[in-house]
Amino acid sequence: MAKLNLAVLISGSGSNLQALIDACEELNFPAQIRVVISNRPDAFGLERAQKAGIPSFCVDHKNYDEREEFEAVLQTTLEPYPVDLICLAGFMRILTAGFIEKWPNKIINTHPSLLPKFGGEGMYGEHVHRAVLEANEKESGCSIHYVIPEVDRGSVILQKTVPVEAGDTIETLSTRVIAQEHIAYVDAVRIIAQQQT
- Residue 15 binding ligand GRF, by CB under 6 A: yes
Is position 111 annotated as part of the catalytic site?
A: yes
Question: Which one is catalytic: 111, 129, 145, 182?
Answer: 111
Stretch that binds ligand GRF, among 14-22, 56-64, 69-77, 96-104 (CB under 6 A): 14-22
Residue 38: strand pairing partners: 10, 58
- Residue 14 binding ligand GRF, by CB under 6 A: yes
Choose which of 31, 40, 74, 90 interacts with ligand GRF (CB under 6 A). Answer: 90
- Residue 189 binding ligand GRF, by CB under 6 A: no
Nearest CB to ligand GRF, comparing residues 30 and 112: 112
CB 48 within 8 A of CB 18: yes
Find, among 90, 91, 171, the residue nearest to 126 by Cα.
171
What minimum distance in Å lies between the beta carbon of 43 and ligand GRF? 8
Tell me which residues touch ligand GRF (CB under 6 A): 10, 12-17, 89-90, 110-112, 124-125, 178, 181
